[in-house]
């Protein structure tokens, strides 16, 4: 693939704005303020015309009321820059630009996929062309979601796996690799909440929250990561929370698990970057789901409290998290790893209540 250097973009800009006309491969500048003309370093005379310039007969006459006095400058010749000279041969890239960002032929696993944010992520990835393995626990299987999306012609398959069980997690990864030949994306979305005074929080509840929210992502990343590292490519996206960056009363277990997830993300990202695997955390604020409904009851707050505290003045929507994940999974995000991406309506930026 060949791209042209910055000079080409500069001259295309001036042509499109009607500030210059192309005549036999030369630019004739119309009189305009100095700030609207290219600097002297773009005006050096070189003999070879720029390939993109059209004959004068094909150019539309620019509409301009400025003075007709003009100067003529030779257009610098632009040597083509080969992408192969700046990108590692071992790391192929697709620079095709489509919207929405295409995930065609990608193989993705999403945990905690039955409802809420997880279901929205599955739907968004499938709509953008991915084949999605929607994984969930036996107490909340993904059957209804899978049936709905398959009826729309989307490629979604359901699987049962407990993310806290190493054997089930390994089987999920291995069976997906065996069936599809690779795994391109893992979304660690499975999570549970806990709202309780810290002084009475039981060890059992603490342990369960950390097992699902922190140990689960580690086990899944290890199992799927083995296949990604062997292939030399892949992306892991952990669904964290704003409570991975801050705290709130009665969220000791939940906040600890999400802070830990940020640390896990950063370690895996820097450890696996040289082997082609990216790892990122997405941090939603309050999103309207059944989990929030339960938290309102346990935490003694209302929807109006959250709306009033959020600078954008509303809850987040599950599909907004799905769209963020889809971007991070795409080639457009190929230089993003080890990062935490808040999707919070300005929550973290605002320090008050």
What residues are annotated to the active site? 254
Q: What is the DSSP string of 7-75?
A: HHHHHHHHHHTTSEEEETTEEEEEP--GGGS--GGG----SSPPTTPPPGGGSPPPP--S---EEEEEP
Structure tokens at 226: 């083995």
As a 3-state breakdown, the chain gives helix, strand, coil percent values, each rounded to 5, of 40, 15, 40
CA distance 172 to 186: 11
CA distance 153 to 99: 20
CA distance 180 to 216: 23
CA distance 173 to 185: 11
Beta strand pairing status for 107-110 and 81-82? Answer: unpaired
Q: What is the DSSP string of 273-312?
A: GGGTEEEEEEEE--B-SHHHHHHHHHHT--HHHHHHHSTT
């Amino acid at each position: 693939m060949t791209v042209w250097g910055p000079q080409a973009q500069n001259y295309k800009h001036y042509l499109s704005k009607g500030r210059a006309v192309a005549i036999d491969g030369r630019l004739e500048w119309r009189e305009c303020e100095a700030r609207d003309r290219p600097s002297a370093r773009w005006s050096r005379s070189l003999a070879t015309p720029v390939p993109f310039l059209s004959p004068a007969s094909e150019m539309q006459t620019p509409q301009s009321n400025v003075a007709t006095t003009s100067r003529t400058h030779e257009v610098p010749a632009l040597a083509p820059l080969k992408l192969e000279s700046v990108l590692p041969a071992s790391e192929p890239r697709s620079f095709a630009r489509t919207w929405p960002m295409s995930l065609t032929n990608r193989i993705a696993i999403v945990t905690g996929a039955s409802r809420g944010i997880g279901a929205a992520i599955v739907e968004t990835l499938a709509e953008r062309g991915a084949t999605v393995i929607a994984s969930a626990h036996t107490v909340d299987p993904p059957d209804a979601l899978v049936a709905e999306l398959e009826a729309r012609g989307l490629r979604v398959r359901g699987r049962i796996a407990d993310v806290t069980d190493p054997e089930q997690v390994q089987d999920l990864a291995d069976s997906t690799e065996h069936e599809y030949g690779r795994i391109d994306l893992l979304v660690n979305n499975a999570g549970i909440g806990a709202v309780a005074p810290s002084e009475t929080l039981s060890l059992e509840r603490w342990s369960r929250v950390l097992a699902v929210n922190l140990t689960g992502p580690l086990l899944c990343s290890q199992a799927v990561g083995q296949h990604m590292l062997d292939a030399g490519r892949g992306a892991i996206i952990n669904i964290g929370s704003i409570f991975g960056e801050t705290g709130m009363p009665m969220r000791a277990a939940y906040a600890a698990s999400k802070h830990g997830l940020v640390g896990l993300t950063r370690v895996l990202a820097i450890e696996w970057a040289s082997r082609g695997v990216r790892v990122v955390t997405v941090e939603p604020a309050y999103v309207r789901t059944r989990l929030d409904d339960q938290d309102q009851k346990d935490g003694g707050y209302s929807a109006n409290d959250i709306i009033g505290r959020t600078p954008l003045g509303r809850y987040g929507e599950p599909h907004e998290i799905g769209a963020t994940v889809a971007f991070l999974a795409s080639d457009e995000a190929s230089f993003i790893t080890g990062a935490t991406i808040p999707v919070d309506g300005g929550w973290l930026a605002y320090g008050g209540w």
